[in-house]
Structure 1
Amino acid sequence: MLLGTHSPKLDEKGRVILPAKFRSELDSGIVLTRGQERCIYVFSAVEFERVHERIRQAPMTSPAARDFLRLFLSGASNEQPDSQHRIPVPANLRDYAGLKKDLTVIGVGDRAEIWDTETWNDYYTERESAFASQTEEVIPGIF
């Protein structure tokens, strides 16, 4: 399970070293793709296959499903960490997420997310008080 908040740097070649805690799940290969809120989703290759299988169940007659599928998969990139655990982040994804040198990587269970640190801080500040004062069930049976 991928958890926590980490602060790696993007190097001059557009590579990032993901947290050591994530390596056991991600060293065998990863898929990077566009995430929502302008972050990059990081899936293990195995988890991405599971997600893709679920996506394939969406009706092709749904314009929203077609749009999601096109944007989600057209931005996807298979990557393999190098011997120093660096992962190249393709230019199109760096541009999409507005990545600069300072990054925030968060673990959200079945995937990680790569954020530009300033964007993450703005997102967190904007949504934290609503999270802290949430009174309605958001995830059935959990909260």
Structure 2
Amino acid sequence: MFQGSHNINMDAKGRLAIPAKHRDTLEATCASKIVMTAHTQDKCVLIYPETEWQLILPQIEALPTFNRAALRAQRLLIGYATSLILDGNGRILVPPTLREYGGFDKKLILVGLGKKFELWDEEAWLATLAEAQDDEMPEQMLALSL
């Protein structure tokens, strides 16, 4: 399970290092093979262990293509999907298309969300958190006791 947020710097070539605690999990669960793709609603990048991606890919492919929203989701998720392997130092090269999609500069935030990560430009992440304060709480959340 991936959790927590991490400040990460991307170098001029578009490489970034996955935090050590997550590298070990990725090595054990998917031999350090990941899939990066575009988020369908936010300007960030999703990172899945390859094994997890293989479970959800058939669900994405099964979406009805005559539904414009479903087709858009397929185009983003499958069209931007890129298979990568962490190098010996736990680094990955973010593809230029995904760097552009996420508006990535040097400072990024990697957010663990259970079975996947989100990778954000730091400024976009902070702006999204500020905007979300005004969102209405889903009914399911109101039943939680934290």
* TM value normalised by structure 2: 0.86
Q: Are 1:7 and 2:7 counterparts?
A: yes
Q: Are 1:83 and 2:85 counterparts?
A: no
Aligned length: 140
User: How big is each residue's C-alpha offset from its partner over 1:95-141, in whole Å with a ceiling of 9 and x where there is no partner?
Assistant: 1101011011100111101100010011111113547xx3x414697
Letter in 1 for 2:25: E
Cα distance, 1:11 vs structure 2 = 1.0
Cα distance, 1:77 vs structure 2 = 0.5
Letter in 1 for 2:71: R
C-alpha distance in 2, partners of 1:52/1:74? 12
2:119 to 90, 109, 114: 114
Percent identity over the alignment is 32
Q: Are 1:66 and 2:71 counterparts?
A: yes
* TM value normalised by structure 1: 0.88
1:104 to 98, 104, 109: 109
Q: Is the 8 A contact 1:25 1:44 kept in 2?
A: no
Cα distance, 1:60 vs structure 2 = 3.3
- Look up the match of 1:137: 139
RMSD: 2.1
Q: Which runs of 5+ in 1 are unaligned?
A: none
- Look up the match of 2:34: 30
